[in-house]
Amino acid sequence: MISYLKARGTYVLFNSNGIALTAKRGQALIDAGLDEYRLSMDGATRETYAHVRGVDAFDKIWRNIRAFVAMQKERNASKPAVSLWFTAMRENLHELEGLVDLAYENGISEIHLQRLVYFEQGLAHSKQSLFRRSTREELELVRHCEQRCQERGITFTAAGSATPLESLIRADFFRDGDRPWSGCRRPYTLTYITSSGNVLSCCFAPFGHKSAKEYQQDRVIGNIFQEPIEAIWRGERYEAFRRAFESDHPAKHCSQCGLNWSY
Ligand SMILES: C[S@@+](CC[C@H](N)C(=O)[O-])C[C@H]1O[C@@H](n2cnc3c(N)ncnc32)[C@H](O)[C@@H]1O
Ligand code: SF4
């Protein structure tokens, strides 16, 4: 897939938990011309990682990623750019500083602070969230890590155009009750296609539905194996989704954006 997309001139990236990043696969990713490899890393210790992700794989992942970065150096490969994606929550924020040091020691030059999206299912719940609920100490910690990244030449990013600190407070996004989702531009700028061809509004849309029927009716806008993407993008269902987005009654999955998490 990566080679196919690169042959078409596309910028290619993906996020991964890194568990299956063997030397052979790493070699293949470099050969295929992958532009970015975003490693999900929700802690700086084995214990916290296992607690947050539900799998005791911290040591294996770091062995994999160290070997991958070393292979890139050996081959003088400038791509893919490797970054760490840290989903910030109550249980792991105290390890962000340690993660900055881990990144620095391992020659990784970007950390992304991901805000938690939750639907009270699986491992993600509102009680873990920091968005609009961070304590003064938690915000100070993020500010400190911004500074630490700057000192170590690490780029520290967050969702949207916000800085990491802004992405957790961002009350200026909206006034309560005033269409908190409305600043999101995804309905006009991107789409999300699953491996079965279903077209959804964004990567939040596959989650939080109560039934397969609801998913099909409210989330799936079209299917690229049945209709060309251009027709879906400009079609009635997408337009109806966009009209709802501009009204007081957006799709259910949009209605929590900006309110429970930043978009
Ligand atoms: C679609 S996920 C990629 C999943 C990938 N297979 C993995 O295991 O990391 C994209 C990014 O969102 C992060 N993520 C996972 N759960 C999340 C959640 N509940 N809220 C926000 N971000 C989350 C992951 O760490 C990942 O880097
Ligand atoms: S669910 Fe949120 S991020 Fe996705 S299109 Fe709707 S407002 Fe935007």
Judge whether residue 84 has pLDDT over 60: yes
Instruction: Determine the pLDDT at residue 217.
Output: 93
Longest dimension (CA), the chain: 55
CA 185 to ligand 2: nearest atom: 8
The answer to whether 62 and 88 have CB atoms below 8 angstroms apart is no
Categorize the per-residue pLDDT at 177 as very low, low, confident or very high, splitting at 50, 70 and 90: low
> Whole-model pTM?
0.93
192 CB neighbour count, 10 Å cutoff: 16
**What average pLDDT score do residues 141-149 get?**
97
Categorize the per-residue pLDDT at 16 as very low, low, confident or very high, splitting at 50, 70 and 90: very high
Instruction: Determine the pLDDT at residue 164.
Output: 95
118 CB neighbour count, 10 Å cutoff: 20
- Which residue's CA lies nearest to atom 24 of ligand 1? 40
Instruction: Determine the pLDDT at residue 123.
Output: 87
Judge whether residue 101 has pLDDT over 70: yes
H or E segment to which residue 13 belongs: strand 13-16
Residue 202 alpha carbon to ligand 2 centre in Å: 6
Instruction: Determine the pLDDT at residue 200.
Output: 98
C-alpha to C-alpha distance for 45 and 92, rounded to whole angstroms: 10
Of 139, 136, 54, nearest in space to 88 by CA: 139
Residue 248 alpha carbon to ligand 2 centre in Å: 14
195 CB neighbour count, 10 Å cutoff: 5
Phi, psi of 80 (to 5 degrees): -75, 150
- Which residue's CA lies nearest to atom 14 of ligand 1? 87
Of 143, 21, 37, 145, nearest in space to 85 by CA: 37
Judge whether residue 176 has pLDDT over 70: no
Residue 148 alpha carbon to ligand 2 centre in Å: 32
Match 């924020």 to its residue by tokens.
93
- Which residue's CA lies nearest to atom 13 of ligand 1? 87
